[in-house]
């Protein structure tokens, strides 16, 4: 290695797997990216996307300086100008119409960035708007609601104890490709193979024989949107055959009888036409699951982004609890994160406030306000509908709603109509092309991070600090500085230096987290503040959370405990052991019990039951649409990186041969895919993977739009499935988008002459 060549060890920020990377850097140039063989969690595993991070560093289309709209184009401006103008525009709007005139949208990559996790909320507080939106309501919101109602906090989501389970029941997830979600673990393929190798079973319930299904012990097709009914039928069998056990949850659960009574109505026979699953298959799976030494039931996008997302999310954990697998080794367990914020964990306390439901409803459609946000499916309504509280300006951070939210056509109209729009993002893409100002943060390898969110859902207790591998462009601030500068401007404390403003916001966070010292006797906010030092930025907050966390050093009170400096001294990361038994202390419900029958969910069962005895809905030319992901893709971005996009077109509509024939379509044909909400032209791929009557199209494509500046992505634009997704088709409890299970029609594309 030459003198200025060095290797930095950190995690990959692209998906939830948190793989360890060894990034070799010369000067400011990334030379090589490999898996870190010494990372105790990932042991050298990476997927092809990690190499794309080098392409991202080098992408000439990635912005490093702020842009200001000028007519139909953008011009580069200085950071000082950009800050001043952003604050001025947003403040003017607020002065004219009130705080709610500014809408905010925070996208998925924010969950992978310590800066955004810490300073996003600081900025939101400064804006004072209640018109907050995020990718959560196009993703895991239903699971947060069921976890919140059952266990007391939105991130108290049990994860499969993947490395010890004997039986994994997967519904609506494809972890071999997505690398797992709400289940943080690197090397999902290896970990799933290991279940089979030790004689265990993986059973996949999915309307597509996905990559995970193809390598599972068993794959069962299910009609989209019917998982809750299937799981209730599974519980029906457990109750009927006397197989219900509470295991570790014994004495901690409430309302078992209500669930028994509820699932009596869901016999395997009654739900069979609706789910497409034969009664004997449901019975056999119920018996196998209950006979297995250990078992875990797990669901992902196919179970949350569908019209019964909350019921399905709830039913999954009912199965975990009532089969005796909650909190037991090899079952579904709670992670003990080294650092966390916001009430998901409070060590030493029994119980907590529980999930507080808000009575607030969205202005136009009356949709629920959950976890401080409105559903993104109604963002366009809130912008386009005049009246008090109308959104007139948007701030987007790390999000691309014009690609990822349902009803894209109307969202385009809405974004085009805004009086002002500020985006914190490093691409001009489907969404940011509407912005008046774009403030680009550094690329992910150019910032330090710690996975505050994902380590709360890891299948082992782990902690790893990731230093920056390279420096941002000359003069380019870190993302936390961008967010903190906007925040102080919006707070009216623009006269403070960043250091002063950061000291103030740290003091507030310390007051919230330390309070009266909690379990650390005698710890005062002043002592903590003093020991956290003077260097501004998210590291101080991380240090605070680590030191007061369950493995922390309590600011010197627990020798050998964790602090940021301990993590820095362990560049490959620390393994804090297998998941442990956490009941009952982990529960944050007011009575420290598990609520099996939350009324909000019980009340939604009628909506499901109303469909049960009707006709199967697929008839004639009508098909059902579901989504999928590809290994080399990352939602709507990383599509401008040649190493990831080369090869065959990925944005194809998978269609079963019988359905293709009916529509007169062959592989390679262009077809029109249409719903009540909109239509797109798609390339057809006939595939035996599909359940007849169901078609599959990935999201995140449709890059051929005027004004976007992604030269590589625009070469292989694909179709934007969310032009077809219906913003009216939702999970009723949460308002989460139901991308999966939408009724669509397919026909030959009109031929241009
Ligand atoms: N039809 C359909 N639609 C879906 C889904 C589906 O399955 N089907 N899935 C949904 C799901 S699960 C999700 S999570 C959403 C994702 O939806 P979004 O979060 O809205 O969009 P992303 O595609 O993740 O785009 C991320 C944006 O952040 C930018 N970015 C990347 N890194 C950073 C960073 O460090 N800082 C900042 N400031 N910006 C950054 C990128 O340039 C890009 O513009 O899509 C949802 N939409
Ligand atoms: N390579 C790659 N990895 C990713 C991402 C990416 O874009 N690319 N995105 C990341 C993000 S943001 C997320 S949230 C995760 C998502 O992670 P996953 O949920 O594991 O990924 P998906 O491919 O969306 O898998 C959803 C599955 O649900 C099935 N399905 C659809 N409808 C139903 C239904 O009604 N019932 C059942 N049982 N199944 C159904 C689909 O056929 C599909 O196989 O992946 C993350 N990882
Ligand atoms: S699975 Fe791939 S994208 Fe995900 S963290 Fe690991 S290397 Fe990165
Ligand atoms: Mo997601």
Distance CA 744, CA 570 (A): 52
Which residue's alpha carbon is nearest to atom 2 within ligand 3? 47
Distance separating alpha carbons of residues 588 and 153, to the nearest angstrom: 6
pLDDT, residue 648, reads 86
Structure tokens at 302: 């196919």
* SS3 (DSSP) at 82: helix
Tell whether ligand 2 has an atom less than 6 A from the beta carbon of residue 220.
Answer: no
Cα(540)–Cα(502) distance, rounded to whole angstroms? Answer: 10
Q: How far is the CA of 404 from the centre of ligand 4 (A)?
A: 10
Is the pLDDT reported for residue 111 higher than 50?
yes
Cα of 108 vs centre of ligand 4, distance in Å, is: 6
Q: How confident is the model at residue 605, as a pLDDT?
A: 98
| Cα of 178 from ligand 2 centre, angstroms | 7
Q: What is the pLDDT of residues 583-639, one digit of tens each?
A: 999 999 999 999 999 999 999 999 999 999 875 555 556 899 999 999 999 999 999
Closest CA to 429 of 403, 393, 396: 403
* Residues in the ligand 1 pocket, defined by CB under 6 Å: 107-109, 113, 135, 138-139, 301, 305, 397-401, 403-404, 424-427, 429, 441, 444, 479, 627, 635-637, 699-700, 721-722, 725, 739
> Whose CA is closest to atom 6 on ligand 3?
19
Whether residue 443 contacts residue 23, with contact meaning beta carbons closer than 8 Å, is answered with no
| Overall average pLDDT of the 40-61 stretch | 97
Share of the chain above pLDDT 70, in %: 97
Digit-coded pLDDT (tens) for 185-207? 999 999 999 999 999 999 999 99
Joined together, the tokens standing for residue 61 give 């289309």
CA dihedral 29, 33, 36, 41 (to 10 degrees): 110
Is the CB of 208 within 6 Å of ligand 2? Answer: yes
200 lines ligand 2 (CB under 6 A): no
Mutate to test the pocket of ligand 2, among 169, 180, 181, 299 (most ligand atoms within 8 A of CB): 181
Output DSSP code: residue 97.
H
Q: Is 18 in the pocket of ligand 2 (CB under 6 A)?
A: no
Closest C-alpha among 540, 472, 477, 475 to residue 505 = 540
Chain segment 632-660, per-residue pLDDT in tens: 999 999 999 999 999 888 999 999 999 99
In the predicted structure, residue 364 carries a pLDDT above the cut 90: yes
What does the pLDDT look like over 728-737, one tens digit per residue? 999 999 999 9
* Cβ(173) – ligand 2 distance below 6 Å: yes
User: Which residue lies with its CA nearest to atom 42 of ligand 1?
Assistant: 427
Q: What is the mean pLDDT of the chain?
A: 96
Query: Which atom, in ligand 2's list, is nearest to the CA of 632?
Result: 1
**CA separation for the pair 264, 657 (Å, rounded):** 38
Å from CA of 106 to ligand 4 middle: 12
pLDDT of residue 1: 59
Give residue 753's pLDDT band: very low, low, confident or very high (50, 70, 90). very low
**Quick one: pLDDT band at residue 514, thresholds 50, 70, 90?**
confident
Q: Considering only CA atoms, which of 22, 147, 6, 30 is closest in space to residue 643?
A: 30
Residues that place a CB less than 5 A from ion ligand 4: 139
Segment 451-497, tens digit of pLDDT: 999 999 999 999 999 999 999 999 999 999 999 999 999 999 989 99
Cβ count within 10 A of residue 251: 9
How does DSSP assign 159-195, residue by residue? EE-TTT-SEEEEES--HHHH--SSSB-S-HHHHHHHH
Query: Ligand 1 centroid vs 635 CA: distance in angstroms?
Result: 6
H or E stretch including 616? none
* Confidence band of 4 (pLDDT split at 50, 70, 90): confident
4 CA to centre of ligand 4 in angstroms: 38
């Amino acid at each position: 290695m030459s003198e200025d060549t060095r290797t930095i060890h950190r995690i990959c920020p692209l998906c939830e797997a948190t793989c360890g990377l060894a990034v070799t850097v010369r000067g400011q140039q990334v030379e090589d990216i490999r898996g870190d063989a010494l990372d105790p969690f990932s042991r050298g595993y990476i997927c092809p996307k990690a190499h794309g991070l080098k392409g991202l560093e080098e992408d000439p289309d990635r912005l490093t300086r702020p842009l200001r709209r000028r007519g139909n184009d953008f011009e580069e401006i200085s950071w000082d100008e950009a800050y001043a103008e952003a604050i001025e525009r947003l403040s003017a709007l607020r002065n004219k119409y009130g705080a709610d005139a500014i809408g905010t949208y925070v996208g998925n990559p924010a969950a992978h960035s310590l800066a955004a996790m810490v300073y996003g909320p600081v900025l939101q507080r400064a804006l004072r708007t209640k018109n907050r939106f995020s990718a959560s309501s196009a993703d895991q919101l239903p699971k947060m609601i069921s976890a919140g109602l059952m266990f007391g906090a939105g991130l108290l989501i049990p994860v499969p104890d993947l490395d010890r389970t004997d039986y994994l029941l997967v519904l609506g997830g494809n972890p071999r490709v997505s690398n797992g979600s709400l289940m943080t673990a690197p090397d999902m393929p290896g970990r799933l193979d290991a279940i089979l190798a030790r004689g265990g079973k993986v059973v996949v319930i999915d309307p597509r024989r996905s990559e995970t299904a193809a390598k599972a012990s068993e794959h069962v097709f299910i009609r989209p949107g019917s998982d809750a009914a299937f799981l209730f039928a599974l519980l029906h069998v457990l109750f009927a055959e006397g197989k219900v056990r509470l295991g570790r949850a014994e004495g901690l659960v409430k309302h078992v009888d209500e669930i028994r009574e509820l699932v009596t109505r869901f016999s395997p026979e009654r739900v069979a036409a609706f789910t497409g699953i034969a009664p004997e298959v449901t019975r056999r799976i119920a018996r196998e699951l209950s006979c297995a030494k250990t078992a875990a039931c797990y669901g992902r996008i196919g179970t949350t982004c569908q019209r019964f997302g909350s019921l399905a999310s709830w039913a999954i954990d009912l199965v975990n609890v009532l089969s005796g697998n909650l909190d037991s080794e090899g079952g579904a367990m709670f992670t003990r994160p080294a650092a966390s914020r916001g009430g998901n964990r409070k060590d030493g306390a029994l119980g907590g406030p529980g999930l507080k439901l808000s009575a607030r409803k969205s202005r136009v459609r009356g949709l629920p306000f959950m976890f401080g946000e409105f559903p993104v499916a109604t963002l366009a309504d809130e912008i386009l509908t005049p009246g008090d509280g109308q959104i007139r300006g948007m701030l987007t951070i790390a999000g691309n709603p014009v690609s990822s939210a349902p009803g894209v056509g109307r969202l385009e109209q809405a974004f085009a109509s805004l009086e002002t729009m500020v985006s914190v993002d490093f691409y001009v893409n489907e969404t940011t092309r509407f912005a008046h100002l774009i403030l680009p943060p550094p690329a992910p390898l150019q910032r330090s991070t710690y996975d505050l969110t994902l380590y709360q859902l890891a299948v082992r207790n782990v902690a790893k600090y990731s230093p920056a591998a390279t420096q941002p462009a000359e003069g380019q601030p870190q993302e936390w500085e961008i967010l903190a500068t906007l925040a102080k401007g919006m707070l009216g404390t623009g006269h403070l230096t960043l250091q002063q403003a950061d000291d103030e916001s740290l003091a507030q966070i310390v007051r919230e987290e330390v309070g009266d010292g909690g379990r650390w006797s005698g710890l005062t906010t002043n002592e903590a503040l003093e020991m956290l030092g003077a260097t501004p930025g998210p590291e101080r907050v991380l240090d605070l959370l680590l030191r007061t966390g369950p493995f922390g050093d309590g600011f010197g009170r627990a020798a050998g405990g964790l602090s940021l400096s301990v993590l820095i001294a362990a560049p490959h990361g620390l393994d804090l052991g297998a998941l442990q038994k956490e009941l009952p202390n982990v529960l944050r419900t007011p009575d420290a019990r598990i609520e099996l029958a939350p009324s909000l969910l019980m009340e939604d069962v009628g909506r499901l039951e109303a469909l049960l005895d009707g006709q199967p809905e697929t008839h004639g030319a009508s098909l059902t649409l579901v989504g999928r992901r590809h290994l080399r893709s990352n939602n709507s971005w990383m599509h401008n990186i040649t190493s990831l996009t080369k090869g065959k077109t990925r944005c194809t509509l998978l269609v079963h041969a019988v359905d293709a024939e009916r529509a007169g379509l062959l592989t390679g044909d262009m077809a029109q895919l249409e719903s009540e909400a909109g239509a797109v032209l798609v390339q057809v791929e006939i595939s035996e993977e599909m359940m007849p009557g169901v078609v599959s199209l990935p999201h995140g494509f449709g890059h051929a739009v005027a004004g976007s500046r992604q030269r590589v992505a625009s070469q292989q634009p694909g179709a934007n499935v969310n032009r077809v997704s219906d913003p009216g088709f939702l999970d009723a409890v949460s308002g989460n988008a139901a991308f999966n299970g939408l009724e669509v029609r397919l026909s030959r594309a009109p031929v241009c002459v």
